[in-house]
Structure 1
């Protein structure tokens, strides 16, 4: 038995480190010592604030979540560590596990991080996996004019993937002018919402702001599609659908990482491995915008949740990590 620590949301808007008893791994299991975890400023901060609607409690459970919404709950899904016991001993792996110093999971629940992907960058795996799924759902065509609205973790990851699409014209749009630096690091065009290029074939919306969704519809050409990636928690989303929505025959399509289009013919494990392969690209380092020690996490989470600590992906470093 190992005496470890984990981060728990003790009540909405408040968190603490709690002791965890971790057993020796059994057959088919691995013991992982965490090197880094990542805090998503989207879903995870909504969970921290207690803003998961009750009718979504079951569908929003993380794979290794402990406790129940709204709190106390141990929640998270961006974890990179090194296997200390089990068949993969010595391997660096990614797991959809919360913020915890060590943990035991089935061997099939971890994915080996390939050579050429630094452990800290690998915390983005879950986010890039979401972006891969969004691109599959969007089904872009060669030469498409594509706009991504919202330069957060997911939106920037989508833009980075689409930037490599043949002959695509990709623009990243965000209300924060500081996000231009992210677009430059990803080597793609940037615009403020009011200056964004119109007449687009495809717009992928990831700002989690109703105004961003409204602007996304304005940017489309006739018969164009908005792929909606934002999750709003318990927040209502007003949207005017009486103007150009009908006359220009626009489409809003939902994309969510929990489902893969059947026609893709891919498993969740294959999608996760693809995300890790994409992370060989060092442009993704632009999404890692801050680092803190694990013991600082109870004080960091409120600042990430209320926006007083700006971040895309905030990396948490663990004792003995590298």
Structure 2
């Protein structure tokens, strides 16, 4: 049997490298991947060459211990089964269905403590969204939505839609979503949004006629730097703007010369690698992951997955995400 690994080899280029299937050493397990989810936001930045190559990929994930210099492996949403265990590993792990924060590859070795058992009611496809769901949980922890608040979510990719689904469980006054693409706006309404607008005349007319005082909380999750200005401008006095997007090397030009100067708006970055210091006394990564599993267990995620593509055709997957965002949402690589 041959193992296959996805490599980013340069801007606009990916390749699949074959190698021998590795045998587990002492304290390790071998996992055979069934599906892995492409994280469109971060991975398209890598694919386009829009990340600082000397920056660490993610120091909190052992499988991503390098930087973004080409060629590089990346990915952090693999679902599969344990197919072999090394010495000193409980044989109870054999044939367990697991999630791992691991790059796109058909077989990999890891330690049991880096694996997360997939609950029985959660399908492989839904489990592949665990990292996205955990990110959505983190956004709500950082934003702290409260009863009766008006909330806007800019960007309805996978993470934006999962964030919308979580926010819809709160007794908000209004939940508004903003996205370029009709399909994503319609999905956000099905997940509980009250209004779904396009980021042009729709949003400007809405805030002029319906919410002239702005919202209490805005999330910028679109990956588009210009949307951050819209998020700031839509937020009322003393409101909060949570920036979950990573723009990579794309320049961000902010208009802070108008109402922002007197607005006391709080602008905060949010990223899932860490938990806000204010929450660390009560929240751990394990607790946050358990909330993500709960979300995936109660939500029908089938509409979030639009394409399943064999890993051998990975180049097609990235071209599709890059060229056809209006028709593409969640993309799974299959093995």
Q: Normalised by the size of structure 2, how large is the TM-score?
A: 0.88
Q: Residues 306 and 65 from structure 1, CA distance in 2 versus in 1: closer, same or farther, beyond 3 angstroms?
A: farther
For structure 1, list consecutive stretches of 5 or more residues without a partner in the other structure.
Answer: none
Match of 1:203 in 2: 218
Whole-angstrom distance in 2 between the partners of 1:85 and 1:269: 25
Match of 1:192 in 2: 198
Match of 1:23 in 2: 22
Q: Residue 51 of structure 1 contacts residue 70 of structure 1 at CA under 8 Å; is this kept in 2?
A: no
Q: Show the 5 A alignment for 1:107-256.
A: 107-189=112-194, 190-193=196-199, 194-196=201-203, 197=206, 198=211, 199-256=214-271
How far does residue 88 in structure 1 lie from its aligned partner after superposition?
A: 1.6
Whole-angstrom distance in 1 between the partners of 2:264 and 2:189: 34
How far does residue 161 in structure 1 lie from its aligned partner after superposition?
A: 0.8
Aligned residue pairs total 317
Whole-angstrom distance in 2 between the partners of 1:122 and 1:23: 24
- 2:280 matched to 1:273? no
Q: Show the 5 A alignment for 1:27-42.
A: 27-42=26-41
Match of 1:44 in 2: 43
Q: Residue 66 of structure 1 contacts residue 75 of structure 1 at CA under 8 Å; is this kept in 2?
A: no
Whole-angstrom distance in 1 between the partners of 2:130 and 2:29: 20
Q: Residue 6 of structure 1 contacts residue 17 of structure 1 at CA under 8 Å; is this kept in 2?
A: yes
- 2:92 matched to 1:85? no
RMSD between aligned residues: 2.1
Which sits farther off after the overlay, 295-304 or 246-255? 295-304
How far does residue 126 in structure 1 lie from its aligned partner after superposition?
A: 0.6
Whole-angstrom distance in 1 between the partners of 2:278 and 2:262: 31
Whole-angstrom distance in 2 between the partners of 1:99 and 1:195: 39
In structure 1, the residue corresponding to 2:297 is in which secondary structure? Answer: coil
Whole-angstrom distance in 2 between the partners of 1:58 and 1:124: 19
- 2:318 matched to 1:301? yes
Which sits farther off after the overlay, 92-101 or 161-170? 161-170
Q: Residues 248 and 285 from structure 1, CA distance in 2 versus in 1: closer, same or farther, beyond 3 angstroms?
A: same
Which sits farther off after the overlay, 245-254 or 297-306? 297-306
Whole-angstrom distance in 1 between the partners of 2:70 and 2:38: 18
1:290 to 287, 307, 329: 307
How far does residue 61 in structure 1 lie from its aligned partner after superposition?
A: 8.3
In structure 1, the residue corresponding to 2:271 is in which secondary structure? Answer: coil
Q: Residue 76 of structure 2 contacts residue 101 of structure 2 at CA under 8 Å; is this kept in 1?
A: yes
Q: Residues 174 and 260 from structure 1, CA distance in 2 versus in 1: closer, same or farther, beyond 3 angstroms?
A: same
Q: Residues 15 and 54 from structure 1, CA distance in 2 versus in 1: closer, same or farther, beyond 3 angstroms?
A: closer
How far does residue 312 in structure 1 lie from its aligned partner after superposition?
A: 2.1
How far does residue 309 in structure 1 lie from its aligned partner after superposition?
A: 7.6
Q: Deviations over 1:203-248 (max 9, x none)?
A: 0111111221111112112111110111001011001101110122
In structure 1, the residue corresponding to 2:38 is in which secondary structure? Answer: strand
Q: Deviations over 1:256-308 (max 9, x none)?
A: 11110233222223322321221012333332121111211123223323446
For structure 2, list consecutive stretches of 5 or more residues without a partner in the other structure.
Answer: 86-91
Q: Residues 117 and 233 from structure 1, CA distance in 2 versus in 1: closer, same or farther, beyond 3 angstroms?
A: same
How far does residue 179 in structure 1 lie from its aligned partner after superposition?
A: 1.9
